[in-house]
């Protein structure tokens, strides 16, 4: 079954994050060589000026053709959210990371939305929601 999802690479994800003002580090894992030692296709870490950071991992290739010759792509990634050096949900009212610190199976369109959301979070919301009892 073919999907219309956009393939992602470490470079394409890096570009999305840098466009949002983040400092970015990326590395590849598996490549066209099956014996590559890492269990992921690529990972990207980004640090935003507001103190938030994300860790994005493409865990495995999807195959678009039956012989695995040219159809190897990553069109879904997992995203973890960090604040103050530890995993964190977003404050209430955001469409992502609610009562969880990871979004799994994210396509490129949703990744763009997550990046916009995380890069625009005002971190004082955490303290405000802690004071009001809305944040555990």
For the chain, domain boundaries: 10-132
- Positive or negative, the CA dihedral 124, 127, 132, 136 is positive
Exposure class string for 40-51: b at 16+ Cβ within 10 A, else e: bbbbbbbbbebe
Amino acid 99: pLDDT: 85
- Which residue, among 3, 68, 78, has the nearest Cα to 32 in the 3D structure? 68
What is the rounded distance in angstroms from the CA atom of residue 23 to the CA atom of residue 37?
26
Amino acid 7: pLDDT: 80
Q: What is the pTM of this model?
A: 0.81
- Which residue, among 40, 35, 53, 52, has the nearest Cα to 9 in the 3D structure? 40
Number of residues that make up the chain: 136
With a cut of 70, list the residues of the chain below it in pLDDT: 1-4, 30-39, 60-73, 135-136
Amino acid 1: pLDDT: 42
């Amino acid at each position: 079954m073919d999907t219309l999802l956009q393939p992602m690479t470490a470079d394409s994800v890096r570009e999305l994050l840098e466009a949002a003002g983040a400092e970015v580090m990326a590395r590849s894992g598996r490549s066209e060589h099956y014996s590559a030692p890492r269990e992921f296709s690529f990972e990207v870490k980004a640090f935003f000026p507001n103190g938030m950071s994300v860790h994005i991992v493409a865990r495995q290739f999807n195959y678009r053709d039956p012989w695995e010759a040219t159809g190897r792509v990553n069109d879904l990634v997992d995203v973890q959210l960090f604040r103050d050096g530890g995993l964190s949900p977003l404050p209430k009212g955001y469409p992502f990371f609610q009562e969880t610190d990871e979004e799994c199976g994210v396509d490129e369109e949703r990744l763009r939305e997550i990046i916009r959301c995380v890069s625009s979070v005002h971190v004082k919301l955490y303290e405000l929601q802690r004071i009001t009892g809305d944040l555990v």
